[in-house]
Amino acid sequence: EDQVTQSPEALRLQEGESSSLNCSYTVSGLRGLFWYRQDPGKGPEFLFTLYSAGEEKEKERLKATLTKKESFLHITAPKPEDSATYLCAVQALTSYDKVIFGPGTSLSVIP
Amino acid sequence: EADIYQTPRYLVIGTGKKITLECSQTMGHDKMYWYQQDPGMELHLIHYSYGVNSTEKGDLSSESTVSRIRTEHFPLTLESARPSHTSQYLCASSVLGGRSGGPPKETQYFGPGTRLLVL
């Protein structure tokens, strides 16, 4: 069964304290892995799509990496405005229709 | 920035009422989706559509129905709202993005959501 898990469930960082969020997935062939940011009461905001192991994408203080079994979202020198829930989602090669979302990691960056 | 809109943003309604949540996108995307998300929980797919006149049920059983008469519009209807329908409803649409020589990939873009409270 296709599955996505994320860890940790919640993370508190001091401003400037770099860290990484983990997304582990089990799918029958990966079509794509997606990272989203979601602020409270809002819809998810697209960040990155990764397609194959070894691929990396960067945007400001965020960098996403992908292996055959997991993806990491690295946050370098975070700021309070980076506080949000970060969602990971995968689409399997066998599924042209559906994207499976993980439960998310709630990130709080303290000034 | 994705151009996908949902109305209303917030709705408080009594049990038994019929409600329609609106979703529109101006990007010309063929595929559209409805998700349900409870606070702090995962997104669950309840309906999706490949295009005009196409509607499919998602993984989460839902008493709602959808229609797709126009490409840009994908409304969700609850015939008789109940307190168990209280949740956040998120609409999304996707474009087929391909890499040269590879299979098409999809990225979903989300609307701001509708928070529904049924009393």
> Residue B43 and residue A44: Cβ atoms within 8 Å?
yes
C-alpha A98/C-alpha A92 separation (Å) is: 8
C-alpha B39/C-alpha B30 separation (Å) is: 29
DSSP structure string for A42-97: S--EEEEEE-STT-EEEETTEEEEE-SSEEEEEE-S--GGG-EEEEEEEEETT-SS
Q: Which residue of A has its CA nearest to B43?
A: A101
> Residue A49 and residue B107: Cβ atoms within 8 Å?
yes
Mean pLDDT for A5-10 is: 96
Q: What pLDDT, in 10s, does the model give residues A57-109?
A: 999 999 999 999 999 999 999 999 999 999 999 988 777 667 889 999 999 99
- Distance, in angstroms, between B49 CA and closest chain A CA? 9
pLDDT of residue B48: 93
Q: Which residues of A touch B45 (CB under 8 A)?
A: 98-99
Confirm or reject contact between B5 and chain A (CB < 8 A).
Answer: no
Tokens 């998120």 sit on residue: B90
Residue A14, SS3 per DSSP: strand
pLDDT of residue B101: 45
Q: What is the number of alpha carbons within 13 Å of residue B76 lying toward its C-beta?
A: 30
Closest to B1 measured CA to CA, from A61, A86, A45: A45
pLDDT of residue B96: 63
> Residue A34 and residue B112: Cβ atoms within 8 Å?
no
Percent of chain A whose pLDDT exceeds 70: 97
C-alpha A64/C-alpha A50 separation (Å) is: 8
Displacement of CA A17 from its chain's centroid (Å): 18
Highest mean pLDDT among A28-32, A48-52, A54-58, B95-99: A54-58
C-alpha B17/C-alpha B7 separation (Å) is: 17
- Closest CB to A41 among B92, B105, B115: B115
C-alpha A13/C-alpha A107 separation (Å) is: 8
- Distance, in angstroms, between A53 CA and closest chain B CA? 15
Query: CB count, 10 Å around CB of A20?
Result: 12
C-alpha A79/C-alpha B91 separation (Å) is: 29
pLDDT of residue B102: 47
Residues 6 or more apart from A41 whose CB is under 8 A from it? Answer: B88, B113, B115
Residues of chain B short of pLDDT 70, as ranges, are 1-2, 96-105
